Amino acid sequence: MNLLFVADPLELFKIYKDTTFSMMREAQRRGHRIAACEPEHLAWRSGDLVRAQVREIRLTGESDPWFLETGTPIRALNEFDAVVMRKDPPFDSEFFYATHLLEHAEREGARVFNKPAALRDHPEKLAIMEFAQFTTPTLVTRDAAAVRAFHELHGDVILKPLDGMGGMGIFRVKADGLNLGSIIETLNHEGATSIMVQKFLPQITAGDKRVLLIGGKPVPYSLARIPQGSEVRGNLAAGGKGVAQPLSARDREIAQAIGPVLAQRGLLLVGLDVIGDSLTEINVTSPTCFQEITEQTGFDVPAMFIDALEAALA
């Protein structure tokens, strides 16, 4: 196969943990050809196809340099067997526009994973609304008074922006309400921006579990991202410690309920965030943790992903 990865700049990859790198490595091991581009390199001109300035690469098996460029052509996206959309959040206007370009490329015959329309329809914080039976009490609002009432009801809450990643902009407010007003102002920009508020889950001390769904099926291990020191966030980007562990019965219940639904909509790869028994987020843009789970358990997550990609193209 000839694969195109739409991702962040290759020079920024931390290959010792990067999930997109692990996908590329497994694809190359199987003899597939690899190219990469960034969303900014996508373009369309009337009367023509969606094209991109791509970097055809070969992985070296070394850490520096970890890839060699073998060509930098302008290619139509429908020339590739698969286009794998792996751009990290935030889900801003440019990400949104990229999904429209990718969707038009689909109309021209390109095969895009995850499906662009499904990326737009499942914003990572808000997608949990469809599966509220599995979530902790949650509020989405612009209204500061509603946030205060939610805090008064639940006593200990987490506030977060809807477009963050890696734990960015997450605040905990305990029963004393210390700095609640200032935090609301910071996150909702005086009522201009919607935010999410969730009841605090003390089980975070055991980790914020990333449960991966590939082709609608759960990887048998999660990565529990455990907060360190006085930090409330378990995200690896915020210093959390990643510990792989078998899925619990509740993890499997959630995964088996959600996985087939999202796979049917064109989401080949999904990352569920589960704290204790509660679903807190559904990640669809660029779910991670492949390498950490593989290294700690021996279960080959990249191989499962490329198996699913090959099956989807068969």
33 is catalytic: no
DSSP 233: -
Q: Of 125, 188, 208, 292, which residue is the catalytic one?
A: 125
CA distance linking residue 72 with residue 213, whole number of Å: 33
Q: Of 114, 188, 235, 283, which residue is the catalytic one?
A: 283
Q: Of 233, 235, 251, 292, which residue is the catalytic one?
A: 233
Q: Of 75, 199, 209, 210, which residue is the catalytic one?
A: 210
Q: Of 26, 106, 281, 292, which residue is the catalytic one?
A: 281
CA distance linking residue 296 with residue 312, whole number of Å: 28
Q: Of 225, 235, 251, 292, which residue is the catalytic one?
A: 225
Tokens describing residue 154: 């639940």
> Tokens 């590939």 map to which residue?
214
114 is catalytic: no
Instruction: Please report, to the nearest 10 degrees, the dihedral formed by the alpha carbons of residues 177, 182, 184, 185 taken in order.
Output: 160
Q: What is the radius of gyration, based on Cα positions, of the chain?
A: 20
**Do residues 74 and 51 touch, judged by C-beta distance below 8 A?**
yes
DSSP-assigned beta bridge partners for residue 59: 67
First to last CA, the chain: 11
CA distance linking residue 184 with residue 145, whole number of Å: 10
210 is catalytic: yes
51 is catalytic: no
CA distance linking residue 112 with residue 198, whole number of Å: 33
Q: Of 25, 86, 115, 160, which residue is the catalytic one?
A: 160
25 is catalytic: no
Tokens describing residue 146: 């509603």
Tokens describing residue 96: 């949104």
Is 27 in a helix, a strand, or coil? helix
* Catalytic residue numbers, as ranges: 125, 160, 210, 225, 233, 273, 281, 283
